[in-house]
Amino acid sequence: MLTKTEENYIKEIFTIETITKKDVSTNSIAKKLDTKPSTVTDMLKKLATKKLLSYQKYKGVKLNNKGKTIALSVIRKHRLWETFLVKKLNFSWDEVHEIAEQLEHIKSDKLTNRLDQFLGFPTVDPHGDPIPNANGEFTKTKTICLTKLTINTESIFVEVKNASDKFLKYLSKNNIAIGSKIKILYIEEFDNSVDILVNNKQINVSESVAKNIYLNN
Amino acid sequence: MLTKTEENYIKEIFTIETITKKDVSTNSIAKKLDTKPSTVTDMLKKLATKKLLSYQKYKGVKLNNKGKTIALSVIRKHRLWETFLVKKLNFSWDEVHEIAEQLEHIKSDKLTNRLDQFLGFPTVDPHGDPIPNANGEFTKTKTICLTKLTINTESIFVEVKNASDKFLKYLSKNNIAIGSKIKILYIEEFDNSVDILVNNKQINVSESVAKNIYLNN
DNA sequence: AATTATTTTTAGACTAATCTAAAAATAATT
DNA sequence: AATTATTTTTAGATTAGTCTAAAAATAATT
């Protein structure tokens, strides 16, 4: 049985590994978990003896299958609870993370699976992140380009096609982030620019911007 | 901010205090929490310095108002989560305790109060125990033991005194649940066992069972 | 390639929660 | 009241998770 702390390390390593696709460094973990590298080293040794990851001095770590399974289970719980908080208890999607950080460590497979069922087996959480199923698999979510969305529908921004600095800067300047709920209002026939509602504010984005925004389908 | 362990001590002290109405002894706490008296002594000193209870060497402890408030908050969360598990996730009432032991330590007043609302502000949990409201008050309902009920009267089963796994299993095996209408038919003078009518079926329950069944008065 | 900078590990220490074993205080019983 | 039994506390250790400071390894830069 893993402690809460051990689960947090495993989860964080999984997340970093998924993004960087390289062995995970001690420092990167320390930064994310807001702890000291020496503390991380100690924990990595412990997790290695528990056979959840492979660790080589000075070379970083890599989760093995057992480690990945645990990471996915914690992530699954986190995202199911976030969904519960938003869908059933009417929390807004920006205030659920901290609570889900606590709830993700509740140990009961039966609870997790009943919650999943109660929520109707959702495949994405309120931020648009995929929810692994009971076997740790996510169903590849089909995404749709903003330019293809039906007028007046609302969806969650889940993916950027062009992740250039300039584009991401444009998005943050306009308060659009992965996870943002976007409602499409109107497509201007003259220049194919799009009127959207995001954070209760209406803005107009050009066709080249719209082409890079993908939403849940 | 209290740790999970500290909360468990406070909750247990509150429970013992409520039953015995005396200062709570080191040994009684140790037995309930399945730990050693020496460990309890250490914790009592700590909780005393945190001003949650008054502690006198060899004399036992007594919660102060701050301690009681914390105990009631934990109990409130425990009973709300049990209610959620039974009412919304279709758990049976004999399998919710362990999960609620974990959930009761989740820290978010907003979550607790939203959950309360989501459940329709219940006043009793699935075992018939009263749920303190957001201010730590419960609406005390008067109940009467099955052994004290007048022959041939009918009442609703609202509370169990002993919520042990074995007892709850016995009840569900015999189709007796919180909310069941029970009519008392006869008290056997020889062994004080009781003939009751429940779900239109007559059964006989032993004195020790009857003593743990409480009904509306 | 040598030097400098950065990253990672080691060594030693601290807090929370626990234990065992022994000592001290209190309660019960001759 | 003296003795015995029980309860409680103290003293000293242990494990998990953390820290600081110094040493060692690796990476970057002259």
Domain membership of residue B40 as a residue range: 4-63
CA of B13 to C1' of C22 (A): 28
Residue B102, domain member (yes or no): no
CA angle A134, A138, A143 (to 5 degrees): 145
Q: Of B63, B81, B112, which one is at a domain's C-terminal end?
A: B63
Q: Which pLDDT does position B57 carry in this prediction?
A: 94
Residue A189, domain member (yes or no): yes
Does strand D come within 7 Å of the CB of A49?
no
The CATH number of the domain where B186 resides is what?
2.30.30.90
CA of A3 to C1' of C20 (A): 25
The CATH number of the domain where A54 resides is what?
1.10.10.10
Residue A126, domain member (yes or no): no
Residue A109, domain member (yes or no): no
Residue A119, domain member (yes or no): no
Positions of chain A with pLDDT under 70: 162-165
3-state secondary structure of A29: helix
Residue A99, domain member (yes or no): no
Does strand C come within 7 Å of the CB of B39?
yes
Residue B57, domain member (yes or no): yes
Does strand D come within 7 Å of the CB of B41?
yes
Q: Which pLDDT does position B36 carry in this prediction?
A: 97
Positions of chain B with pLDDT under 50: none
Q: Of B63, B83, B112, which one is at a domain's C-terminal end?
A: B63
Measured from Cα to the C1' atom, the residue closest to C11 is A38
- What single string gives the DSSP state of each residue in A45-84? HHHHHTTSEEEETTTEEEE-HHHHHHHHHHHHHHHHHHHH
**Residue of chain B with shortest Cα separation from A81:** B111
Residue B12, domain member (yes or no): yes
Q: Which pLDDT does position B169 carry in this prediction?
A: 86
**Preferred mutation among B1, B7, B80, B89 to probe A, highest tally of A CBs within 10 A:** B89
Protein-covered nucleotides on strand D (Cβ within 7 A): 7-12, 16-22, 25-26
Q: Report the number of distinct structural domains present in chain A.
A: 2
Q: Of B17, B45, B63, which one is at a domain's C-terminal end?
A: B63
In angstroms, the separation between the Cα of residue B99 and the nearest Cα of chain A is 7
